[in-house]
Structure 1
Amino acid sequence: MSRTVYLFGSAAPPVLEIGRVVGELQRRGWDVCLGLTPTAADWLDEEVGELETLTGHPVRSAYKRPGAADAWPRADVILFAPVTFHSLNAWALGLTDRFVVGVVAESFGKRIPTVAMPCVNAAYAQHTQIDLSVTRLRSMGVEVLYGEGGFVPNQPGERLPYPWPLAFEAVERAAANG
């Protein structure tokens, strides 16, 4: 039986590693469907064809037209990583103007296990909304990998390795606990 993960990314530097991330999820036995915020899609524009070949699915960054068939199989798990300050807060507030945010907002009601790993710098982390958003999403059952044991904010402009292995482990846990 095939396991499907929706891998969503927003415009933070780790999204530039998404091809490697897709490959790692596939090595772990996942059928990967890739969704991006509009800016992340723009950043990866030259790689979209390659990513579609790699996943075997269209890379999506916009809602489908009403009545159009869904191009992806149903998700068993959703991983939103990296998720930016904007996308995290929009999700927690239910602001669904972006395709990937709309899908994760529905995941609660559809009972699809969802994991999020933010990528925000220490300046954004000082804004009070982030803690409110993380708390709200966790209260809805989202595993938010933020703070100790997850993504720890870096200084503005500082590039540290993104802890992808934590996200992979969380996806496996979410699938097992389904």
Structure 2
Amino acid sequence: METKDKGQIVYYYNRERRLENAPAGARFALERQRARRPGFMRALVATRALANLFFALVFMLVAVLVVGYVQGTRNEGSVDGNTVTASAMWFEGHVYVTIKRSTSWLDRFKAVKPSMLEIRTGAGAEYSTGIMQAAEAEVRLRFQAETKPSRIAVIASVPGPGGETLDSVELIVLVE
């Protein structure tokens, strides 16, 4: 092993001097080797066609989310610690509504006692009212409707001792 003064190793290969005499293709390959790879987003919009495809997908995703939010339903809600779920069906001039009370997995460990609920459901001028007692898990109501409504409203409220409403939730249900 050849060494200089004080034990330093002597290298005979000099990469820079060798690249000076290298052809253009070798220098191009070396430049590409050292280039940083583009990130994920730059790769998605690297060409005009990829950029158009990416932005079209983003636009469609936003449109689906907005339409789902605008036309969506809210058939489940919580009133006074009780989870209430509603479903509706139209058959031969009547809308049949089923309201179910349930407790969430987390509420099972709490001491939430079911309370009496006043239920009012309807579409337009036609409506029906009912009472869900504390011991009941399900109530079924019906009201007349000549044509099938697309959605109905269900209001579940907890009546107070003086007739006032202590807590309420409004649900929007798609009619099947």
Query: Normalising to structure 2: TM-score of the pair?
Result: 0.20
Query: Normalising to structure 1: TM-score of the pair?
Result: 0.20
| Bigger helix fraction | 1
